[in-house]
A and B are shown apart, each in its own frame.
Chain A
């Protein structure tokens, strides 16, 4: 058995034996903080400010024109370390959706399994279309495993719209209409 060392306990002074100094210093802290500003939040009514680079739940976003940005290139599915992302790619029906016909491709289905996701942000990092972002949603819960799989609809609901710096597909369309054709 390991050797133990017994420390000698200092005897209490008569003043200490009355416990008064301890009570006073404790109350000092109590009354001191009572006057200060609150540091705790009344979660969930109050929510913290989330910094921009926070890695919350991965979401899909739309561009300012309301167009879905993801083109189902499947790079995020490939890069995701725990294989949380599954999607079925598909084409855009040019007749049904002429506005987006030039984008050609969009996901048919897009699932992120939040029981698998490790919030690493690699999907956001790899996305060539800036379509997937880990935003500020940090708390999610569900009663079943199925509920913890975010489908495409849920992902767009969580994602909302973000500003687009490049408008690459708008430019492509403009070029198609007025560009260097022969």
Chain B
């Protein structure tokens, strides 16, 4: 729920403290707003799903100011305050909406006892196999059992036996004994992923989660069910048994799968990434991301990773390579094939290099089918960055036929290619042989094989930077793991080239000094903006200058091109 969009506020009383909350917000959210780590324990409620009210963990005591039924007048206590009519039994917080004057108690004996009761019932048939359960360490049941559990079991009968280790789909493994029947996964598949495949069969304690006959949990959002499962029932087949979560360091990052720019969290230990999960951003991806986006980290360890700076196939130091590249670029007749996979900072430097070497810049578009949710038609994370930095002023084309003609005619003698395999884009190897090629990229391809100079670059997981997504929101990402040994951050090497082209001495730069330069020259970035102080949710930039470009994205989860245009046009008029 977007809080600013709700105009009316009401005052409710939580544990004796008056708080202003938006009207209609539920008690779980209201208590969270009180802050100080106060929380109503809950399993089935999820802020982005419908209310199911089936776990009964979120019990609170609720009362309303008392009024005389006949006259409608307030009934007062002796001290003149309005009397509160407490409900005789606790009520569930997730389905109770805040209204004026409501009183809530979250920590009374009755509330605690009902939580203890719920916990005891949940544990009756629970297998208690935390030692082999991947959720351990981030399991709500484990946490609340520590707080509200009895510590021993009064249940002497045999526990129910349900299927363990069943395959639900290509990415998800299910352990039914651990399931607490909260139905989050069921609601997610139906409401968000629009693929209603999960359901419960049998009744009572025999209720079992399963896929509908003949179906599989195979949509591209299946791993979100693993994230929202409060227990270890749904586990990621990829991450299963790989590492305990408490060893993993979390780093905020951005998904590079498409121009949506889903906010992510990288989980790594000692320079190795174990998994990627979504990070909540209500403006971009809510709390979801695609399965395909989560697998992108595997390319880090791929065999064809470029690890060395080299000239004509001979490994060299980065400084030497920068000097050689500068010489080539100085000789004129240069073309740059930039990339919408580069960060904004890198594009800023390519723009400087293009200006200083008089190069013509082209980009290549990468399109695919959009799924209407978090995978947009534009499969690059930072096309808007190339526009905002001025690297390009028009949308890229699908191939490089124009460039091929220029090479053939001798108008282009040197190509600086970033991340793109030119041989796949309409420039045959023979044509390419007519020009000198400087290749910058993270992985080897046919272009890097024939390139005269190769500059290895870091992947998004290994560097600091920012991307601008489909709705012109600039979002920062941080390095989670170190890159290959000896490979410097791209912009450091680019600075050496760019400065040399201008006849200046290269300075040691940090990401914030790059931002100092960027904000000074780029209109859309306000002068005080710095990478380190970029807010978590990103900053929406002014897109007025680019509204007339025909972007390929169609309506998806948080972006509607038509509405976006209208909103911006309206803003521009004001």
A residues touching B (Cβ–Cβ < 8 Å)?
A: 71-75, 77-78, 89-91, 94, 102-105, 128-129, 172, 175-176, 179-182
Contacts and interface: CB of A to CB of B under 8 A. Distances in A.
Contact of A103 (B132, B136, B158, B244): B132
B160 A71 contact: no
B295 interface: no
**Which of B159, B206, B244 has the most chain A CB atoms inside 10 A of its CB?**
B244
Contacts of B161: 175-176, 179-181
Looking at chain B's contact residues, the main secondary structure is: loop
B244 A91 contact: no
Interface stretch (B97-105, B235-243, B465-473): B235-243
B247 interface: yes
B158 A105 contact: no
A115 to B, nearest CB: 19
Interface centre among B132, B160, B202 (most CB of A within 10 A): B132
B242 A179 contact: no
Nearest to A73: B131
Interface in B103-150: 127, 130-132, 136
A179 B160 contact: yes
Contacts of A103: 132
SS class, residues of chain A in contact with chain B: mixed
Lowest 4 A-B CB distances belong to which pairs? Answer: A179-B161, A73-B131, A182-B206, A105-B132
B48 interface: no
A71 to B, nearest CB: 5
Contacts of A179: 158-161
B130 A128 contact: yes
Nearest to A128: B131
Contacts of B162: 181-182
A181 B242 CA distance: 30
A90 B241 contact: yes
Nearest to A101: B165
A128 B188 CA distance: 34
Contact of A181 (B130, B160, B247): B160
Given A73-B131, A128-B130, A182-B206, A104 B158 contact: no
23 contacts: A72-B241, A73-B130, A73-B131, A73-B136, A74-B244, A78-B247, A89-B241, A89-B244, A91-B240, A102-B164, A104-B132, A104-B164, A104-B165, A105-B131, A129-B131, A175-B161, A176-B161, A179-B158, A179-B159, A180-B160, A181-B161, A182-B162, A182-B206
A73 B244 contact: yes
Contacts of A129: 131
Contacts of B244: 73-74, 78, 89
